[in-house]
Amino acid sequence: MTLGIKINPIFQEEQLASLPAISIELIKKFDSDIFFILSDDGEPRYFLLNNPLIASLQAAQNQQLHVVDREIWLASGPLVINKFLDDLPQYLLKAATDFELKQ
């Protein structure tokens, strides 16, 4: 079973070796079916989710924009990777369910 989630070609074109820090002004260039914003505790989620540039994203309009914990999503090591693997399915399963409902 495939999830039907496309990877934005910009990630392949630029052959990104790591996650880039993306300026909020350029965020539309990275729009995707599902979008994860890595947030620090210092970045209020309401600011991110209520910003007009972010609200204009296809992922946001389809309720597939997710603000996730940077410490869990960027950390490494066996204990933290388990937290990441516990966290990820909730987003992908929602995306897969929404995709199937559209078909």
The pLDDT value given to residue 4: 60
More confident residue, 48 or 6: 48
Label residue 30 exposed, middle or buried (CB < 10 Å: 0-12, 13-18, 19+): middle
Express each pLDDT in 32-86 by its tens digit: 888 888 877 656 677 777 889 888 998 888 888 888 888 888 877 887 888 888 8
Q: Whole-prediction pTM value?
A: 0.67
Averaged pLDDT for residues 2-6: 57
Averaged pLDDT for residues 3-31: 68
Domain architecture of the chain: domains with CATH: 9-102 (3.40.50.1980)
- The one-letter amino acid code at 72 reads I
